[in-house]
Amino acid sequence: MASRNVRFAGGAALALIAALFLAVNLIAQVGFPGWRLDLTENRLYTLSAGTEAILDKLDEPVTLRLYHSAALSNQFPAIKTFATRVTELLDSFRRAGHGNIRIEIIDPIPYTTAEDEAVAAGINGNDTPSGEAFYFGLVGTGPIGGREVMPVITPDRENFLEYDLAKMVVALTAEKKPVLAVISALPLDVGFGGPMAALRGQSHPFAVYSQLADLYDVRMMSPDFVEIGAHIDMLLIAHPPKLTPQQLYAVDQFMMAGGKAVVLVDPNAEVAAQGPPQGGPPQMASSLDPLLAGWGVKIDPQQVIGDAEMATKVTVPGSRRPLDYLVWLRAGRERMNATDIVTASLSEVLFATPGHIQKLEGAATNVEPLVTTSVRAGVFDPMTVRTTGNPEDLARLFKPEDKSFVLAARITGTAASAFPEGAPKTEGTQAPNPTAAGATPAFGAAERAPLKQSAAPINVVLIADADVIDDRLWVQENGQGASRTVVPLADNGNFIVNAVENLSGSGDLIAIRGRAPASRPFAVINDLKRAAEQKFMARSQELRAKLEATEARIAELRQSRPTGANGAIVSVETEKALADARAEVAATRRELRDVQRNLEVDINNLQARLRFINIGLVPLAVAAAAFLLSLVRLRRRRLRRGVN
């Protein structure tokens, strides 16, 4: 009787649990349709604080019109899943917009006015196997007549989708874009093909320039500029040409008035080698020494930084394994300032042959590192880097200094002018234009009184590398023409845009951009690989040196070999030396194979343990807990039976 009661109670409990489950779901769907609980690790279904701040500031409606070929997407499960993610995110924008975000979803069925509308709006149609065009793009319209278009929304931009949507909302509601002046020896606005190639679609702006142009009124400064207009809000100085004294003075006075700038100077700019200027070799190095000294820092033009821990692996012809290229550096989260908003959200930034930033003694400014090397870093001469093509040869010359170097820094505070005596003489250069009556004098103009120190704190983000903006380093291009998309492979562009946005006072988009999933390498496995590879390279270098010495000795013996009876003796000595060398080569190669084999065994064992923990241990733990629980219940039942 007691056992029947227990079974009845258990069945009733299960029925009650099922009823409660159904009731909770029904109440949630009917009574709280907008409520969500996001338990994903990276909170993929929760809008970031930056997006919510942008949407909270809306006081006029913005319309986002999604053109989606719904029937066609059903034929492709991956596209259908991605489309669901897009519509869910748009709905999240609508709910967070407090009535100021309007979402319209239109299915451009072939041969309908909806398809005509999509084409007219600039949405790209992609051919499907059935011959019909598949549309999946977005058009945004703002309260003051603004219009923004995403011709195609692709899955490879999924990690950046929230940022793309938020950026569209910002662009649609901005009354005026801040003015960003660019001083550079690089053709950031048209690419290395030049203006005519850009018009033909054969050359494109640098990806970071395109990102900035979406948010700012970007002005490329003329190579012969002599002043900086008062309407300029901030500067981007990226691998500048050799500036004249008057140009340096204009930049100096802009900064002394409390100016803001993102500055990239480089002792060895590989990006410059892509397109040498007409009539001369490429400008491989850049400097702003007179200004940097006034800001309390210096960048040594004769020092390129290498780092054994941050080195990028490259494939070299003739090598059976990737090699560490010490001067191409991958800066992960552990190398970036986690408390500065410019770098806190970044996952990885790539540098190529960078310099390093040093604070001058007695400097009044505050120099806060943003990106640093590991302590396994050292310096190379730029000419050595340019003439040494093999990573192994460069590694033999490397001497770590057991200290960390600063690759990028924020400079703030009171700075001194590089021109304490006022404007330089303008002999041989173009004189500044006279200021029109009633207009604010430009920086560098004779009508503006010179400043010997900053009237307001300066704010500079200084990067000792110009290659961070090289597309080859951090983006992948897909498609051509209107369908061309650029997919970031690293956070280089975000680094520059974050810096510009932060200095311009906009922090909301920065918080969104950091939502891209971070790379999560197996640190222990990578450490094992690195340790074994270092041992492998060391033994390889010993072998090469031994072979070279042996070959030189053999060549010397052969050249000095006399004729006659002694020739046979020398020949025997030569053959013995050669045999010894071959034996040493064979022994060393066996040792190298053992090192590589042991490396693979260690890595395989560690990977097997990780797989067991991730795949097997958790289910085993659950099973063990269930088994123990069943034992406890069984014991209780037996005790109850004993009592009864």
d(CA 615, CA 578): 54
Out of 277-281, 284-288, 410-414, 514-518, which region has the weakest mean confidence (pLDDT)? 514-518
For 443, phi then psi, to 5°, come to: -75, 125
What pLDDT sits at residue 12? 57
What pLDDT sits at residue 535? 60
d(CA 620, CA 597): 32
The pLDDT confidence band at residue 135, using thresholds 50, 70 and 90, is very high
Residue whose token pair is 């030049």? 194
Comparing C-alpha atoms, which of 142, 9, 139, 15 is closest to residue 67? 139
d(CA 453, CA 257): 9
Angle (nearest 5°) at CA 290 between 288 and 294: 110
User: Is residue 215 within 8 Å of 254, Cβ to Cβ?
Assistant: no
Task: Return the CA Rg of the chain.
Answer: 33
CA torsion sign, 314 to 316 to 318 to 324?
negative
User: Is residue 581 within 8 Å of 550, Cβ to Cβ?
Assistant: yes
Comparing C-alpha atoms, which of 274, 273, 279 is closest to residue 193? 274
567, pLDDT greater than 90 = no
d(CA 425, CA 430): 11
What pLDDT sits at residue 271? 94
518, pLDDT greater than 50 = no
What pLDDT sits at residue 519? 42
355, pLDDT greater than 60 = yes
In this prediction, residues 612-628 reach a mean pLDDT of 72
616 vs 239, more confident: 239
Comparing C-alpha atoms, which of 146, 29, 165 is closest to residue 103? 165
Q: Percentage of the chain surpassing pLDDT 70?
A: 73
In three-state secondary structure terms, 8 is: helix
376 vs 631, more confident: 376
Give me the residue spans of the domains in the chain.
49-150, 177-299+354-372+403-421+446-520, 524-643
Please give the CATH architecture assigned to the domain spanning 49-150. 3-Layer(aba) Sandwich (3.40)
**134 DSSP β-pair partners:** 126
Q: For residue 72, count other CB atoms closer than 10 A to its CB.
A: 22
**What token pair was written down for 519?**
């790379």
In this prediction, residues 492-513 reach a mean pLDDT of 81
In this prediction, residues 317-338 reach a mean pLDDT of 90
644, pLDDT greater than 80 = no
What pLDDT sits at residue 38? 59
Comparing C-alpha atoms, which of 230, 209, 211 is closest to residue 220? 209
What pLDDT sits at residue 592? 62
Residue 111 falls in which region: left (phi positive, over 0), alpha (psi -120 to 50) or beta? left
What pLDDT sits at residue 516? 46
Max distance between CA atoms of the chain, in angstroms, equals 116
In this prediction, residues 142-171 reach a mean pLDDT of 87
pLDDT digits (tens, 9 = 90+) for 579-613: 776 677 677 667 766 766 776 676 677 767 766 77
What pLDDT sits at residue 237? 98
pLDDT digits (tens, 9 = 90+) for 522-559: 566 666 666 656 666 666 667 666 666 766 666 665 56
What pLDDT sits at residue 555? 66
d(CA 336, CA 333): 5
Q: For residue 136, count other CB atoms closer than 10 A to its CB.
A: 27
20 vs 419, more confident: 419
pLDDT digits (tens, 9 = 90+) for 431-448: 555 555 446 778 877 778
What pLDDT sits at residue 132? 86
For 444, phi then psi, to 5°, come to: 100, -10
d(CA 425, CA 495): 38
In this prediction, residues 297-303 reach a mean pLDDT of 97
565, pLDDT greater than 50 = no
In this prediction, residues 364-381 reach a mean pLDDT of 96
- Is the pTM here over 0.85, yes or no? no
User: Is residue 266 within 8 Å of 285, Cβ to Cβ?
Assistant: yes
Q: For residue 244, count other CB atoms closer than 10 A to its CB.
A: 17
d(CA 346, CA 330): 12
